[in-house]
Amino acid sequence: MKRRYFGTDGVRGPFGGPLINPTFARRLGAAAARFAKGTLASPDQAPVIIGRDTRASGLELEFAVAEGIRSQGFQVVSVGAAPTPVVSFAVRHYRAPFGVVITASHNPAADNGIKFFSGSGTKLKDAHEVEIERLLEEIDQTDLASISPALTVIPAVQLYNDSLAGVLPRRALQGWTVAVDCSNGAAVATTPLVLERLGAEVIRVGDQPDGRNINDGVGSQHPEVLADRVTHHRAKLGIAHDGDADRLVLVDEKGSVLDGDELLAIVARRALSKGELRKKTLVATVQSNLGLKVAIEGWGGELVQTSVGDRYVVEAMLEGGYSIGGESSGHLIFMDVSPSGDGLVAALKVIEAMIDSGEPLSELRKCLKRFPQVVRALKVAAKPSLESLPLLKQAVAAGETELKGEGRILLRYSGTEPRIRLLVEGPDMSRTVAVMDALEVVVRNELDVLED
């Protein structure tokens, strides 16, 4: 099911470009509403929920999408500038037919995007997005009468904060110092406030959004800023989000960065020990380090792997009845709390493991013994099918032979950027790098690789 507009996380691109502009947003909103009206809901239900991150273009796009949705007979209310997980929460809390988030996540401020949530608070399936694209072609801009863009703002952020403050016992973080990098994004309204309610002293970073500085030198893409604050203030840990706060990167008390695989290992080990990991199974993607599989199986559990994308992790969790899953990129899902990736929930669950064990993060992370891994991303002018490139397939086979069954090779195109991502894992770093170097040469010969 090839999609023309949707990537792995909604529709995304430069604001003012052919996709992300008010005209297209209005049509996309109408198409999504028409799809919902025909398959998921009826317009006489509760209003559709919409939210946005802190980008300057967010408000204009929010109004445009809302106009399109209203043209199909639905009412729309806004949660304002808020993390993506707040929209998922609000859809479930208010029993909305569906939800919309205006965000480009970790992308620069010049970009923006549109993604949708079902009435159960999960991201839409591929087949649903294919159908929305089909309906989009039926909708002409001239059919969409201009409707007043005024939106009622509902107190979903406060309700979300109230709910998550209950994940840990009252004042559980009394005496803790925690550094939080909000990436000048939507997390400013949630993570620092919830941690303070739990008793922590919060050192804020990236908490002055102005519409143009989201993800600019701060946040989950730049954890070195947070690491400096952690060591300077002797904090117990640092928490970094991306622009819409569905992602988490942690820094331990020594200033070292943890990735999503380490976080998954920490929470899965605790859950297994307490009998809370449903079916003793963790869900991750093919991008996760082989060490995660070895660790989980060593603790008596199993690892199920999916395609890259937190939506595919969620689908596998729902189908299999599993409770915890996530990606190495830092999208973690705790199904007993929320059916979507939530950076704050993930942070609280790791903190819960710290409290239970009495160990600092630098010790807890040692539960994962990583295989040597090399990851590279090359910008490409086009994305021809990798199956259509025989020399590249031969190079992968040669690399796998070199690894002698003690590693793996993964090539895939990014679903949100014009890039091909290369991953090689092996028994030692020198062999892993050698395989990667040889593979990159072939990729550059076979694809039109651009310099960043």
How far are the Cα atoms of 14, 85, 317, 381, 424 from residue 18, in angstroms, in the given order?
8, 27, 35, 17, 35
Query: What's the DSSP call for residue 141?
Result: G
105 catalytically annotated: yes
Mean pLDDT of the region 260-279: 97
How far are the Cα atoms of 49, 183, 224, 229 from residue 255, in angstroms, in the given order?
38, 18, 8, 8
Residue 47 to residue 97: CA distance in whole angstroms: 7
Share of the chain above pLDDT 90, in %: 89
What's the pLDDT band for 146 if we cut at 50, 70, 90? Answer: low
How does pLDDT run across 282-301, given as a tens digit for each residue?
A: 999 998 999 999 999 999 99
φ, ψ of residue 65 to 5 degrees: the values are -60, -40
pLDDT at 427 over 90: no
Q: What is the dihedral of CA 272, 276, 280, 282, to 10 degrees?
A: -90
pLDDT for res 301: 98
Contact present, 370 and 429 (Cβ < 8 Å)? no
Residue 249 to residue 365: CA distance in whole angstroms: 13
User: Whats the size of the chain, residue-wise?
Assistant: 452
Residue 411 to residue 434: CA distance in whole angstroms: 16
**This prediction's pTM:** 0.89
The pair of structure tokens assigned to 89 is: 């929460």
pLDDT at 142 over 80: no
How does pLDDT run across 357-374, given as a tens digit for each residue?
A: 999 999 999 999 999 999
Which of 170-184, 208-222, 349-363, 408-422 comes out lowest in average pLDDT? Answer: 408-422
H or E stretch including 333?
strand 332-334
How does pLDDT run across 302-319, given as a tens digit for each residue?
A: 999 999 889 999 999 999
- What structural domains and CATH numbers belong to the chain? 11-154 (3.40.120.10), 165-255 (3.40.120.10), 259-367 (3.40.120.10), 373-450 (3.30.310.50)
Residue 424 to residue 443: CA distance in whole angstroms: 14
pLDDT for res 406: 86
pLDDT for res 150: 80
Q: Where does 126-246 show beta strands of DSSP type E?
A: 152-153, 177-181, 201-205, 237-240
Strand 324-326 to 419-425 pairing: unpaired
pLDDT for res 148: 61
pLDDT at 42 over 60: no
What contacts 24+ positions apart, CB below 8 Å, involve 364-367? Answer: 364/266, 365/252, 365/258, 365/262, 365/265, 365/266, 367/265, 367/266, 367/269, 367/295
What's the pLDDT band for 100 if we cut at 50, 70, 90? Answer: very high
Mean pLDDT of the region 112-130: 95
The pair of structure tokens assigned to 179 is: 């550094």
Q: Which residues face 12 on adjacent strands?
A: 113
Residue 131 to residue 125: CA distance in whole angstroms: 10
- Average confidence score pLDDT of the chain: 94
pLDDT at 143 over 90: no
Residue 23 to residue 257: CA distance in whole angstroms: 41
Q: What share of the chain is helix, strand, coil (3-state, %, to 5)?
A: 40, 20, 40
pLDDT at 34 over 90: yes
Q: Which of 57, 105, 118, 329 is labelled catalytic?
A: 105
pLDDT for res 1: 58
How does pLDDT run across 239-256, given as a tens digit for each residue?
A: 999 999 999 999 999 999
pLDDT at 189 over 90: yes
